[in-house]
Structure 1
Amino acid sequence: MWWKRLLALGVAVFLSLPVIGLATEKDKILARVGPYQLTEAQLNAQVAEMPAQIQVLLAHQPELKKELVNRWVEISLLSLEAEKEGLNEDPLIKARIQQARSAILAQELIRRQIIDKTEINDAEARKYYQENKAQFSQPERIKARHILIAVEDPASADSKKAAREKAEKILARVRAGEDFAELAKKYSDDPGSREKGGDLGFFSRGQMIEPFEKAAFSLKVGEISGLVESPFGYHIIKVEERQPAQTTPYEKVKEQVREKALEAKRESVLEAYLQQLRKKYPVSTYLK
């Protein structure tokens, strides 16, 4: 469907009314539909407002601009016919057009008064980093393998006993020196890790169920747990690596910090600006 292509290309700008006006001598006219016309300058201005990935796509595939012009023509045709049908006089549509107009004006005001005028310096970025180090920190993590002997749900006493006995035999083989990964491949009931020899990769606290997490984080590197019971069954856990909690140095995340600090500053400036406007214009709300 063409409107899906429209969305895929990020051309929400074309949802605005077609352009009426005269081109200057320097403006190259790309299309005309009745009283509407689209110039190259207008198209380029709209493309400049699109997401960066769309701009890159258009730069590498300039033929897509023809697709944009075709979409503009289609919308212009539909708009003309809608006006002929009198839809522009429908009260509900008038209200929607007013809402769209208000949203466009508000967005442009924010861009000019807040986004374009708000900057961040290194001192402000460093201050943000110091006050929000948790955002740039990595919690303690461990890398572990496990062997799961699953228990039926709901589990009968007999099925739990059988699963536990099987897990105990495997645990004995692990402690006798057999290869943990090979035993996991052969016996583990965890489909997500079995083919990887029970490898769970790195994980931090809060990512695993409580009994498993408590047991895993209590182990030293190379240590093997006893049987750990969880709602899934019986686990045998081996910790292979441990990474302590650490904060990434400022220099390594400087650009990320600046972006976050700038976003926070813009939000603060916008809130202050809105407070000024509330004093400038009368505001009443009636919802309780």
Structure 2
Amino acid sequence: MTFKPARLLLALLAVAAIPAFAQNLAVVNGKAIPSSRADAVVKQVVAQGQQPDSPQLREAVKKDLIVREVMMQEAVKAGFEKDATVKSQMENAHQTIVINALVRDYMTKNPIKDADIKAEYDRYKAQAGDKEYHVRHILVGTDAEAKAVIAKLKGGAKFEELAKTSKDTGTAASGGDLDWASPNSFPKVFSDAFVGLQKGAITETAVQTPNGFHIIKLDDTRPAKIPAMEEVKGQIEEALAQKKLQAYQEAMLKKATVK
């Protein structure tokens, strides 16, 4: 279609006029609510996967923003904006928003790379090893108590029965069962004691940790079930991001003058 000069002028005028009318979502008691505020809310809702962008969503957002504006105006009239507690909360919220902007900018400029994720995954696999162990333990307070338990076990007492008296109340009722786990899930001195045991064997001497003295039994072993990298990529990325942010915070703190 070819526009005639007059029709083209009208079209251009219409396009030019749109921002002037569309810049405000509504005007409440003379106070304008900018359309950009609604756009930001819609964008956030869509990004979070709650709802797709639609006329229904935009209408709901509009109503909500109008209600909020009405209530805000009423709150200001009542003097709540000057309340000390409210002012403190507003300052905290302001600080949080600004800090979050700084964090987003830092992470955008310093993203977690796929190579970093793979390196962390490989490190985890190496630490986890190729086996999982199903172990039980009995926790006592002293070495003498541990020796007494070991003597009873050698005398024919059942491990699961003696475990009912364990100081570890979380596992006592289940016969000291610590379930299936990789060695790196435990303190090294603890895992070192059971990785060399045969199936069904019990440690000859107690293993001491800050929690007390442990008598350990190996129920069984099986090949380690390590998830594929794609399954845990998001978790690894989040963990690496937290480490990077912590390092960033510590670096800024070192430069700060704190009295």
Q: TM-score when scaled to structure 2?
A: 0.52
CA–CA distance in structure 1, aligned partners of residues 189 and 220 of structure 2: 19
Partner of 1:173: 156
Which one-letter code corresponds to 2:40 in the other structure?
A
Q: Distance in 1 between the 2:145 and 2:256 partners?
A: 66
Map Cα deviations across residues 134-192 of structure 1 (whole Å, 9 max, x no partner).
366361342211233x23xxx6xxxx545532441134325xxx5x44x2554434211
- Separation in 2, partners of 1:257, 1:189: 34
Q: In 1, distance between residues paired with 2:79 and 2:111?
A: 44
Amino acid at match of 1:144: V
- Report the count of equivalent residues: 214
| Aligned-partner Cα distance in 2 for 1:41–1:197 | 62
- 2:137 is equivalent to residue 146 of structure 1: yes
Provide the secondary structure at the position in 2 that maps to 1:196: coil
Residues 245-264 of structure 1 deviation map (CA, whole Å, 9 limit, x = unaligned)? 96x555x349649967xx79
Q: Does 1:43 align with 2:32?
A: no
Gaps of 5+ in 1: 1-21, 86-91, 272-284
> Which residues of 2 match residues 92-131 of structure 1 at below 5 A?
103=98, 107=101, 125=114, 127-131=115-119
Q: Of 217, 227, 232, which aligns to 1:237?
A: 217
CA separation of 1:75/1:220 partners in 2, compared to 1, >3 Å: closer, same or farther?
A: farther
Cα distance, 1:199 vs structure 2: 1.1
Are the structure 2 counterparts of residues 74 and 135 from structure 1 closer, same or farther at C-alpha, using a change threshold of 3 Å? Answer: farther
- Whole-angstrom CA distance in 2 between matches of 1:235 and 1:84: 63
Secondary structure of the residue aligned to 1:164 is: helix
Task: Report the alpha carbon displacement of residue 84 of structure 1 after superposing the two structures with TM.
Answer: 10
Structure 1 residue 107 displacement after superposition: 3.6
**Compared with structure 1, are the counterparts of its residues 69 and 172 closer, same or farther at alpha carbon in structure 2 (3 Å cutoff)?**
farther
Q: Would the aligned equivalents of 1:221 and 1:242 in 2 still touch at CA under 8 Å?
A: no
The correspondence of residues 1-288 of structure 1 with structure 2, limited to 5 A, is 24=21, 29=26, 32=28, 34-38=29-33, 42-49=37-44, 56=50, 69-79=66-76, 103=98, 107=101, 125=114, 127-134=115-122, 137=125, 139-140=128-129, 141-148=132-139, 150-151=140-141, 161=144, 164-173=147-156, 178=158, 180-181=159-160, 183-184=161-162, 186-205=164-183, 207-230=185-208, 232-244=212-224, 249-250=228-229, 252-253=230-231, 256=234
Q: Shift of the alpha carbon at 1:217?
A: 2.4
Counterpart of 1:139 in structure 2: which amino acid?
Answer: A
Query: AA paired with 2:135?
Result: A
Secondary structure, counterpart of 1:223 in structure 2: coil
Select the structure with the greater relative contact order (CA < 8 A; seq sep ≥ 6).
Answer: 1
> Is the CA contact (8 Å cut-off) linking 1:27 and 1:39 kept in structure 2?
yes
Q: Is the 8 A contact 1:225 1:237 kept in 2?
A: yes
Structure 1 residue 216 displacement after superposition: 1.8
Question: Could you say if the C-alpha distance between residues 242 and 25 of structure 1 is closer, same or farther in structure 2, counting changes exceeding 3 Å?
Answer: closer
Shift of the alpha carbon at 1:26?
A: 9.8
AA aligned opposite 1:192: G
* Distance verdict in 2 for CA 1:215–1:25, change over 3 Å: closer
Q: Distance in 2 between matches of 1:258 and 1:208?
A: 20
Identity %: 18
SS of the residue corresponding to residue 155 of structure 2 reads helix
- Report the residue type matching 2:50 in the other structure: V
Please report the TM-score for the alignment, with normalisation by the length of structure 1. 0.48
Alpha-carbon spacing, 1:188–1:244, altered in 2? closer, same or farther (3 Å) = same
- Point out where structure 2 has 5 or more consecutive residues left out of the alignment: 1-18, 249-254
Structure-2 separation of matches of 1:286 and 1:255: 35
- 1:118 and 1:236 map into 2 onto residues whose CA distance is 46
Give the equivalent residue in structure 2 for 1:281: none
For 2:81 and 2:231, the matched residues in 1 are separated by: 57
